[in-house]
Chains A and B, each alone.
Chain A
């Protein structure tokens, strides 16, 4: 027991942080809650470092402390800290702001559990924990739009969650255990494996916004505060991807699951960018772009079990995606939600304009930015696993991606019609922008620090 708990210091730290934040919010001290959150996330990240080399399980194999869950914490916790700063800059002074900070950290706890889950029950717990907090955050503005999208999000989440639990019972029945490590028993039971796979694809696919479970994403992102949208598009999505990796790497390849996932990846990438091409609201545009990015993640998932590049590719692209997508959303907080708001933005604010260009080019996958390194690894993993056609589709979609992102870049350098209004940018936002821009621009050059 003591041994098991010693491997869970980061999670325990985060859990106690959430409790403290809740108390602070009850005392009507949102700043205190925020401070607790930032400190807790920082400590939790620091506690993860010594565990990075560990490769073990705790509590009878239900929770994994391995490369993936270690890196997940290193990516998700600082990412949440940045999202906290963004949220602070956006909603400071509003009623019940402390609740959003607390919920952010609570959802992150669920996200970390998803990324470390080694058992079906833990998977369900992670999905529910991330879900409940997210619904509340989307509904936070308490206006009609937010309430409507939160309801949609909740109903959709409840249905997909139930279907997932139902499907998981097939796996339990077939394998005789709720542990993922026992899924090898499904080797010669392809139908049962397929039934459970479909269920997992629905449950986690909804979280990761894979096609065809992406309907909620643009609405929810648009209804919520921009920083909450940024958080949802980054933290819960990456957590769901990591959960996919934890589940599917134990499912025998012979059951044919990679092909199913590959089909979904292809459709997700293409649909995401096609839909993004026609948006005029930048939040919705980025929502669809992050649908497409989820498709790219699946290139790495497809290769699990066949290519040694699979796990590193998902981790590296996960880190890159968190940085560049958070950064892009931070610019939206400054510029505004409409494509027209970006007209002349690059001329009015040259530095932030350059940062936005860096984020968008990195999302496209232009070297030497961080996103490029991630994409090369993803393509490499998919090709090594024998999915050359999928890599080709991914590459063709990169061109579509360029068209999508240039729709933001091009107006940024056109002359503005009216006089540019230059409001001060809050310091926390500058911190977020600086950190994400540095990581996006330079980590590609230092990608050697990542596992491979």
Chain B
């Protein structure tokens, strides 16, 4: 059974099914949505059960597309893409559960969300560069319409900024892909990874183009400015998908394309990339500290966390010791998954708070922990995870990244200051919102209902599970990273 293709196209099929159904009531739409995303999640679990190969890609499926230029539908997984596919299908499933409360044009919303899931899983699974680019861009269109259609006050501006920014960002990638294609006559990514086709100046130009694209997506300083606007204005589900899944396109591409297809150029430019990573991590943390809007604050911590991933990848490119490389890349990959889960949970929780209070300013709240204990403790747990507390999801990832950094590029360890800053800003946020004097205004605020629990609790369990025993995930990642050719 072509499980991988099923997981890619099942959501799209669900969306099309919904569009042709005569009855498009909210009940039906969300029923289709939860069933489709749930089934997709099960299929990805089956893909996981089939496993990956220690070297190269597994579960490859291939159909001719445009034979004249060597483009084909090719998908497959390895220890880098499979964890991200699992993360994607889980987050979409939970988003579908949470989105069941949307009543404004529910069918269209669900169809967009399902299209986004197809694009997201497709991006991680694609082994053909043209196919990758197709999924990469389709996700952009879906997210644009989600922000513009269901976002908050300033959604038009934020959506436009997001679309133009990321489209401009992704077009250099197309140039790099065309360059790699002209050097080989094929769009097969496996071919490009096996023997990197470009050398010298051409490789450096391709790398610069790719770095630009992925830096916008990650987002890394100085091309991160679209992120806070898009996050703040996007609907809750949009924020969760944007932060949890779509930012990973950037870091995934950084490893899959930049590191694997132009390895020599990456090694040469490694110090520069590392410097951008370090600066992003510090910058994201300090700017987050300055925010009073909860959603914006979490958005900026994404810049900080993704900065660590960039550091990990750059350290791996700069060192020759295979063990150290594996440690750095393991950390970077695990950090992608952890960030998806932790930040997904945080955006869910802030969205739930906002839907109750129509307010995101920290100072407007106070003492909510007694009022809404489930929401409160869930936020506290996720926030502690986000600041890197041992025993929670970010710790094993960040620990490995810093371990490798300290061994290979000691100067970059200054990024660790950012952890102190994030600790400060989360403690401040918790104190302002959940501790202190209860604000009379919110005395009637209800705690999480069943649907909200269902969306958040699985993420909380995973936060602890990855924090305490990450080996079930790291085993698969490590096998691939040790064999990674670059």
Interfacial residues, chain A to chain B (CB-CB below 8 A): 309, 312, 350, 361, 366-368, 372-373, 376-377, 379-380, 383-384, 388, 391-392, 395-396, 398-399, 402-403, 406, 410, 413, 445, 447-448, 450-452
Contact = CB atoms under 8 A, between A and B. Distances in A.
B171 A367 contact: no
A277 to B, nearest CB: 12
B141 interface: yes
A309 B65 CA distance: 17
A367 B66 contact: no
Interface stretch (B156-164, B223-231, B266-274, B404-412): B156-164
15 contacts: A366-B138, A366-B140, A376-B130, A379-B174, A379-B175, A380-B181, A383-B179, A391-B175, A395-B172, A395-B174, A398-B167, A402-B167, A403-B164, A447-B65, A447-B66
Nearest to A414: B156
Interface string B105-143: 000100000000000000000000010011001101100
A361 B67 CA distance: 25
Contacts of B178: 376, 379-380, 383, 391
Nearest to B133: A367
B182 interface: yes
B160 A410 contact: yes
Contact of B171 (A361, A395, A410, A445): A395
A350 B134 CA distance: 24
B66 A392 contact: no
A399 B174 CA distance: 13
A420 B67 CA distance: 47
A367 B156 contact: no
A368 B66 contact: no
Contacts of B65: 445, 447-448
Contacts of B108: 350
Contacts of B167: 398-399, 402
Contacts of A384: 182
A366 B175 contact: no
Contact of B68 (A368, A388, A448): A448
B461 interface: no
A367 B65 CA distance: 14
A402 B170 CA distance: 13
A367 B69 contact: no
A391 B69 CA distance: 18
A312 B64 CA distance: 18
A355 B68 CA distance: 29
Nearest to B205: A388
Given A368-B138, A380-B182, A406 B174 contact: no
Interface residues of B, number: 31
B149 interface: yes
B149 A398 contact: no
Nearest to B172: A395
Given A367-B134, A377-B69, A399 B160 contact: no
Nearest to A451: B68
B364 interface: no
A395 B170 CA distance: 10
B134 A399 contact: no
Given A410-B156, A413-B149, A366 B137 contact: yes
B170 to A, nearest CB: 10
A445 B141 CA distance: 18
B66 A452 contact: yes
Nearest to B111: A354
Nearest to A364: B167
B476 interface: no
Which 8 A-B residue pairings sit nearest by Cβ, starting from the closest? A452-B68, A367-B134, A395-B171, A368-B134, A399-B168, A447-B66, A367-B137, A448-B66
A103 to B, nearest CB: 37
B210 interface: no
A425 B130 CA distance: 38
B87 interface: no
B430 to A, nearest CB: 39
A237 to B, nearest CB: 25
B148 interface: yes
B69 A452 contact: yes
B64 A448 contact: yes
Contacts of B64: 448
Contacts of A445: 65
Contacts of A391: 175, 178
Interface in B259-295: none
A67 to B, nearest CB: 13
A372 B69 CA distance: 14
B113 to A, nearest CB: 16
Contacts of A309: 69
Contact of A395 (B130, B134, B175): B175
B141 A366 contact: yes
Nearest to A382: B178
Contacts of B181: 380
Given A399-B167, A452-B67, 18 more contacts: A366-B138, A366-B140, A368-B138, A380-B181, A383-B175, A383-B182, A391-B175, A396-B168, A398-B167, A402-B163, A403-B160, A403-B164, A413-B145, A447-B65, A448-B64, A448-B66, A452-B66, A452-B68
